[in-house]
Structure 1
C-alpha cells in the first residue's frame, strides 16, 4: 500500500475525528484532538495524517508539554494520540506516522518527546523508559509504559522532573 504522510488540513478534520473514534472505540481521543487543535498547546506543523489513494487513513498529533522540577521547567512534546483506521492495523501505517512525526519534530528544533503507550511497541522507534532520565509521569503507570526520546542528544540529561500534560488532556 502506497502511503504518504503530510500535515493535516482543515478539510481532514472530520476524517481524523472518525479515525480516532473508531480506533479507540469512543470519542474521547477524537474530542482530545479537537481540544488540542484549539489550544496553545498544539505544536504547529505536528498534526499529521497518513493518506492512501486520496483517503485519510491515519493521524498522529504532538502537543507541547512541560517537564517540571522544583525551580525549573523544560519544554518537550507529548505524542498522543496516534490512530489508524482499524481495518488497516498491522500494515505499518502507525509506524510510518511515528517516524515521520519524530523526524519533523526534530527538524522543528524540539528536544524530546514523551509517550505513554505499549512497552513492546514504542521502543522500536527509539523510545526508552523516561525513568532513565528521572522524568516521571504525573500519575501511576507502569514504568515501562512511560517513555521518552531525545531528539537532541543530551537534551534530557539533568532534567529530572514530572511531566505536566497540557490542560486539554484533563489529567
Structure 2
C-alpha cells in the first residue's frame, strides 16, 4: 500500500469528517474542521490516502499573536487525525511533516500546537512559555508549543496566541 498525501478537496469533506470523528471518538473536532471551512477560514488542509481510501487528515489554521507591541499572524496545527485501524503506522507524522512544509511555503514564520508534549517535539516543537508566547486558553505550559518555520522567527516576538473563535467550542 502506498501512502499519498495531498491537499484536501471539496469531495473529501464527508470522509474527513468520518476520519476526524472516528479518531477522536466524538464529533467535536470533525465539526470544528467543517465549521472553519464553511466560514472561509484560510486553512492548510491535507489528507492521507492509502489505496484511494482517505485514512488521515491534518488542518493548519491562522492564529493571531497579540501583545502591547502589536500583533502578527502565525499558524496552528490541529486537529490531526488518523483512522483508528491505521494509527501507529506513521501516517499522522507524515501529515504533520508535509503540513509544516506547506506552512513554510505559504510564508508563515511560526507554528503553534496545543497537544501532547511527547508527540510534537519530534517535529521540532518546543514549549512556548520560555519565549513569552502564551495560549489564550488556560492550559498547562508543557502542552502549548511553538516551532520556528524560519530561522530566528521568535526573536522579539511575545504575546498571547488567539485561535479562531470556533476553537472555543471544542
* TM bucket, shorter chain: over 0.9
User: Aligned pairs, how many?
Assistant: 169
Determine the C-alpha separation between the residues in 2 that align with 1:55 and 1:97.
Answer: 15
Match of 2:18?
18
Match of 2:99?
101
Q: CA deviation at 1:101?
A: 0.2
Matches within 5 A, 1:1-171: 1-43=1-43, 46-170=44-168
The runs of at least 4 consecutive aligned structure 1 residues that moved more than 4 Å come to none
- Deviation per CA, 1:42-90: give whole Å up to 9, x if none: 32xx100001101110000010011110240010001110000011110
User: Where does structure 2 lack aligned partners over 5 or more consecutive residues?
Assistant: none
Determine the C-alpha separation between the residues in 2 that align with 1:163 and 1:130.
Answer: 10
Q: Is the 8 A contact 1:48 1:59 kept in 2?
A: yes
Q: Is the 8 A contact 1:41 1:65 kept in 2?
A: no
Q: What SS is found at the alignment partner of 1:119? A: coil
Determine the C-alpha separation between the residues in 2 that align with 1:154 and 1:39.
Answer: 33
User: Where does structure 1 lack aligned partners over 5 or more consecutive residues?
Assistant: none
Determine the C-alpha separation between the residues in 2 that align with 1:36 and 1:133.
Answer: 28
Q: CA deviation at 1:139?
A: 2.3
CA RMSD of aligned residues (A): 1.1
TM-score by length of 2: 0.95
TM-score by length of 1: 0.95
Q: CA deviation at 1:40?
A: 4.2
